[in-house]
Each structure stands twice: as C-alpha cells, then as structure tokens.
Chains A and B, each alone.
Chain A
Amino acid sequence: MKPRSIIADIGKSLAIAVWFMVLLFPLMVMKVNVTRGVAQVQFRWNFLPLVGIAAFVLSYAWRIALEWNERRGSNRSGGIFGRAKAVGGAYLAKPAVRTGSLVILLAFAIAFPFLFGMYHTNVMITAFIYVILGLGLNIVVGLGGLLNLGYAAFFGVGAYTYGLMWKYVGPSFVAAGMDPGWLFWISLPLAGIIATLFGILLSLPVLRLRGDYLAIITLAFGEIFRMVMQNSSDFTGGATGISLIPRPWFFGQRLPPTKAATYIYFIAIVLVVITIFVVRRIEDSRVGRALEAMREDEVACEAMGINLVKNKLITFALGAFWAGIAGVVMAAQTTYINPDSFTLWESIIILMAVVIGGTGSIPGVIGGAILLKLLPEYFRALAQYRMLIYGIAMILVILFKPDGLIPRKRKQYTFAEKELSK
C-alpha cells in the first residue's frame, strides 16, 4: 500500500469540514420558531465552529477507520489485538475457567437484588426482558436471516394476553376466591402459545417474500397491531391501556413492592436461563441447521431438499413465542400496559440489540440487550440523545463490525493434522 500523504488527507478533511458546515448550517445554526403564523429565526453562531471542528476530526478518523476496515480483511489474525484475542479465547475455552466464571456470574446475578435494592432490580428486570426478546428475535434474524421489524407486536400480544386475562377472567377469579396472582402463571404459557399463533398467522403471507419485502410487511403487521389495540377501546382499553395488573402469585401472599420486584427478578432470571438453553439446543438441532442454510441462500437451500415454507413458519413461531413470554413478564413488572410500549421503535431497539451485540451470537445478543437497556438508565444526562446515539451506533456497527461486537462462531469442520502440516 502506498504511504498516504498527510497533507492531502488534511486538505480532504478540511474540504469535508466546509461541506458539513454548509450542509448543516440551516439546521444547526439557525433555529426556527413559529409564532402566530410567522416564522422567526435565531442564529446560534457558536455551533458553526463546533460543526467544522467535529466534521474535520471525524472525517479524518473515518478515513483511517475505513482503511483499517479494508486492511483487516486481508490479514485477520495479525496485530496485537489478534494475539490478545487468541490468548483470551484459549483461556476462556478451558472448561474450568468457563464453569468458574459462569458460577461467579450466576452467584452475582442471584445476589444482585439483595445487594442493590429495588430500583436497580427493576432496571435489571427490564434488561432481562430485553435479553429474552433479543434471543427470540435472534432466532428470526440471526438464525433464519429474516428481518422482522414488527417484533414488538408479539411482545404486545404477550403483554395483552396477560392484561386481557386480568381484565376479563380476573373478576370471576376473585369472585371464586382465588388469588388473581395465579393468572400470571396461567398467562405465561398461554401468551407463548397465542404469540406463536400470531407468528404463524403473520408468516403465512410472508412465506413467499424476499428479505426487504418481508421486513416491510412485518413492519406493517406491527403497526396494524398497535393501531388495533389503540382503537378498540371497548375491548383493550384503547390508548389508556390496562392498569393494576396483578403481580405473580407467590404462595398466596401479597408481597410488598420490594419483595415483588425481587420475585419477578428471579422469575426473569429463570426464564432467561431457559431461553438460553432452548435457543442453544435449537441452534444445534436439525431445524437450526436448516435455518442457517436458509439464511445463507434460500434457493440453494431449497435445492438441498429443505422445506423453506416449513422452516420459515418455525422461525416466526419460535421467535414469537419468546416475545409472548417476555410480554407477560413485562406486564407483571410494570402492572400497566398501553399500546405505546409496542411501537415500531421498540421493534427497532430490539433489533438493534441483536445487530450491535452480534447477529446469531447468543452471548452477543445478551450483551447487546443488557447494554442497550442499562446504558440509558445509568446515563440519564444523555437521555435525550439516546436515539441519536443508538442510530449512530447501529450505522457504525453495520459498517465496521457487521458481525456485531461479539460475533457468532461459525460451525466449522476441523480437518486432521496432516492436512494442516502440509
């Protein structure tokens, strides 16, 4: 590779800085306000040099990053990072280390609610709900390669199953002298089943469609779901939603909020562990392999004798199931649901957890989901920039690390020694 001339690079970055100063001028420097039909414009000149400097630095960094990205393709394992990764990977691969760290992690997870109190426990519950959602979506996007932009709808189906159970079955439950908290345990499998049915229902029209059409139609489905929930106020409570949903049953006791949070926290942990277990089993199963083949190439996959229709159905059904489960936990935790929790942006955030963490990689998705939920909780000052930062993060990850932060390990055949020594 030719050594880059630094002066030419700086010149280029300067040009880009000027370009951005001009491009962002009306939106950044001028601020509009309309009073009585007359638009008034304020100037914020202090933003102009800021834009210039930021564009200069970023464009310089951008070029280096792009170059690094291209170079990385040619020599993969080289460099200090590669070696560190290899050493770390080998260390982690030792069974003793693995079990040890897992045990520590589990112990920490169990001790968490007692160590940190209710607020943090609740935050963790939301994070766990997102882990379940992320893992569920990962079946669809990561394994099956089908982009689902309406995933929040299944989440909503789960939450509404519990909410509606409470609204319609709850009163007769109470009248019969039973604890309404039982409804949670009834709704949990029920929501999974109903969400699965919805998943199958949705997959029927999309079976014939290719990638991007499928994304759009799932988006349409999600929005329709939200609108129906919003507009059928007699049945679902409309925009106000359903409130006072009971917490899960705990041996007939009415738990104070702190203990209830701890209880739900443990339910969430158990569900997360079950989800991880099942998803891992699916990945290694015949179905999982078929899904991976489908993701790589639909036509070739069909030619290999894999039934695409059946596999797509399974993908959507499995993905929807976990979303339904997560929905029930969510409804139980917040005790209140309304259609606003299931917008398109919700679907996109779940998708982001999968993409940023690592499409198809279970630890990646878990990490991504926890990261996306915890960061905004603990960086409240940046709350208004949240979506902006998420968007930028998503673009950067797709550009520079398309496999995500913790990429999935591909299944590989390893050949015998003599092949390697040649």
Chain B
Amino acid sequence: MEYFLKLFLSGTAKGSIYALIALGYTMVYGIVQLINFAHGEIYMIGGFTALILGGFFFSKGMPVGLVLLFSVLLSIMYAAAFGFTVEKIAYRPLRGKPRLSALISAIGVSMVLQNFVLLSQTEKFLSFPSYLPEFSWLQPYKAYINSTQLIILAVTAVIMVLLTLLIKFTRIGKAMRATAQDMHMAQLVGVDVNRVISVTFIIGSALAAIGGVLICSYMGQINYYIGFIAGIKAFVAAVLGGIGSIPGAVLGSFVLGWTESLGTGYISSDYEDAFAFVILIVILLIKPDGILGRTQRQKV
C-alpha cells in the first residue's frame, strides 16, 4: 500500500507537469485544430531562457528570490514571444489550407527550434540549478512528496482555475470560445480572429514556459531535446482527456501520469515512454473523442 501511495503521488506530480504543457496544446487545438508540434520546443526554450537569465542574474549577485522571480517572468515573456512569432511565420499563412500542411509546417518548426537551441547553446545535458524554495514543514513526508512536487501541483491548480475563469468570464475568453466553435461565424460577428489566435498562442506558450521552469527544476537537468518527448506526452494527455477541453487536458494528464508511474512501478521501467503511446492507441480505439471531449461529426 505504501509503495502504491508513493507511486500514486509521483504519478500525480508527473501528471501536473504534463497538465501544464497539455493545457497549451488543448487551447491551440481547440481553436485552430492544429497539433502544435512545436509546443514542446517552446517549453524547452522557456526552460533554457530561465536557466540562462537566472544564471546571469545570479552571477550578478542578486538574491535567490529575485532571481527566481525575474528569470521566471522573463522566460514566460520570451516563450510567449516565441509562440507568437512562430504562429505568425509558420502557421498563419497556412490557415484555410489543408490541415496536414500546417501539421507538416509544425514538424518543421519543431526541428528548427530544437536544432537552433542545439547549435546556439549546447548538445549536452546541463544541470538545472533549483531556485525553488524547500519547505521545512514538509520534511516528515519527504518519502512521499517533496516541495518541488508540491509547488508544481499548486501552480497547476491555480493556473487551471485562472484559465477557466479567463475563458468563461472575460471578453477575450468569449471570443476564444466563439472562434473555437466556428471561425467564420466569429469573424462575421466582429471577432478579430487573428488577434484571438495570437492571444491563444501567447497564453499557451506562457504556460509552457512555466511548465518548463518547474519541470527542469524538478528533473534537475535540461537539454535541447527534452521538449519533444514531453510535447508528445502532453499531446497524448490532451487527447486522452478530450482535445479542446481544458478540464479534460488536466484529467488526461493525471491519468497519464498515474499510468506511467504505476506502470513503471509494477510492470517494467524499460517501457516508461511506451505506456503513453499504448494508452493513446487504446483510447483512440475505444473513445476517439477522449474522456471529456464532445463527439464531433465529420462534415463534407
């Protein structure tokens, strides 16, 4: 039972990590029906930017709290800017073209960003200094959950609530929902669709950056390639929960996190990454619209 609890909690932490990335995926997909392959790369860039800027501030003798604050804020801004730029260059001209074109373009973007970081920074794994605080009151429960995991969980919860509020109650949220339902109709009633899509990419990328910083602190290392597999898994989580649905993305992420950690704990650790794919195949077979997704009819 204790073993199970341990696995369950580490699965929860993993799930909340996936959730941060999956939220961006699901938002983008909900609005432009594009699997944004480059999303994982944005997350990696967020982590790298935080590492670089954090290292710079730290070497200038800034206190740790401020280093954390500034590097996180700036990396969020940078990742958002990257998301915005990528959308403008590689996705916007393809709007209205066959959906597969945008997907191929997204694969291209993913390659470009990955190799850009590889060439401009390093191909090695860098250890990621943890700027996150340690809670002393958590010491007795250390075997189950550590402070980084707790922070990740809390941040995910807060973000999910904020995001839901944003989408439900603000003007831009309403515009997003309208665009997601029917882009042309939204345009007809005066929604600036281009702006809505830009904002979606900005928010999604900002979330990815938060995820990047938190996950790199949790894993303790960073590399140009981390974005890819994380991106794929987050996508699996988003599909699992029903792509386009925000609570679905979070739920799917937790399901994925639990499956992975229980799977590695009870079955085999060799296949850690395979579990995600197996779940994906199973879910697409049984319920292609995901756990919380709405059934979509295909139209001519």
Contact = CB atoms under 8 A, between A and B. Distances in A.
A385 B119 contact: yes
A100 interface: no
A62 B53 CA distance: 31
A145 B110 CA distance: 22
B55 A394 contact: no
Interface stretch (B16-24, B98-106, B247-255): B98-106
Interface string A107-134: 0000000000000000000000000000
Interface string A351-382: 10001000000000000000000000000000
B122 interface: yes
Contact of A30 (B52, B85, B101, B103): B52
B85 A23 contact: yes
B263 interface: no
A200 B94 CA distance: 32
A69 B97 CA distance: 14
B101 A39 contact: no
Nearest to A303: B300
Given A31-B121, A215-B35, A223-B273, A348 B300 contact: no
A34 B221 CA distance: 10
B77 to A, nearest CB: 10
Contact of A395 (B52, B108, B116): B108
B298 A394 contact: no
B278 interface: yes
Contact of B119 (A19, A38, A212, A384): A384
A399 B85 CA distance: 15
B171 interface: no
Given A147-B103, A205-B284, A398-B94, A224 B121 contact: no
Interface stretch (B1-9, B43-51, B149-157, B203-211): B43-51
Interface string B252-278: 000000000000000010110110111
Interface of B: 33-35, 45, 48-49, 51-56, 58-59, 74, 78, 81-82, 85, 89-90, 93-94, 97, 99-101, 103-105, 107-112, 114-117, 119-122, 126-129, 232, 235-236, 239, 268, 270-271, 273-274, 276-278, 280-281, 284-285, 288, 298-300
A385 to B, nearest CB: 7
A211 B29 CA distance: 14
Interface string A206-223: 101111110111011101
Given A34-B126, A37-B129, A351-B104, A402 B97 contact: yes
Given A209-B288, A402-B101, A27 B121 contact: yes
Interface in A34-70: 34, 37-41, 62, 66, 69
Contacts of A39: 51-52, 54-56, 58-59, 126, 129
15 contacts: A23-B82, A23-B85, A27-B48, A30-B53, A32-B51, A32-B122, A34-B129, A66-B93, A205-B284, A213-B288, A216-B239, A355-B104, A398-B94, A399-B94, A402-B101
Interface stretch (A259-267, A292-300, A328-336): A292-300
A387 to B, nearest CB: 5
Interface of A: 19, 22-23, 26-28, 30-34, 37-41, 62, 66, 69, 145, 147, 205-206, 208-213, 215-217, 219-221, 223-224, 227-228, 231, 297-300, 348, 351, 355, 384-385, 387-388, 390-395, 398-399, 402
Residue of A69, A206, A394 with most chain B CB atoms under a 10 A cut-off: A394
Contacts of B56: 30, 39, 41
Contacts of B94: 398-399
A224 B278 contact: yes
Contacts of B298: 210, 298-299
Contacts of B93: 66, 69, 399
A318 to B, nearest CB: 19
B49 A391 contact: no
Contacts of A23: 78, 81-82, 85
A147 B35 CA distance: 13
A396 to B, nearest CB: 8
Contacts of B58: 38-39
Given A223-B274, A395-B108, 9 more contacts: A26-B74, A31-B121, A31-B122, A34-B55, A38-B55, A41-B56, A212-B103, A355-B104, A393-B108
A180 to B, nearest CB: 32
B54 A388 contact: no
B277 to A, nearest CB: 4
Given A23-B85, A217-B280, A41 B122 contact: no
Contacts of B45: 27
B107 A32 contact: no
A26 B115 CA distance: 16
A32 B111 contact: no
B171 to A, nearest CB: 27
Give the 5 A-B CB pairs with smallest separation, nearest first.
A39-B55, A391-B111, A220-B277, A394-B108, A391-B112
Given A41-B59, A227-B274, A395-B90, A26 B129 contact: no
Contacts of A399: 90, 93-94, 105
A231 to B, nearest CB: 4
A398 B108 contact: yes
A62 B299 CA distance: 35
A32 B221 CA distance: 13
A37 B119 CA distance: 22
Contacts of B121: 27, 31-32
Contacts of B239: 213, 216
A223 B281 CA distance: 12
A34 B55 CA distance: 9
Contacts of B81: 22-23
B165 to A, nearest CB: 29
B220 to A, nearest CB: 9
B115 A394 contact: no
B284 A209 contact: yes
Given A26-B78, A220-B280, A220-B281, A348 B107 contact: yes
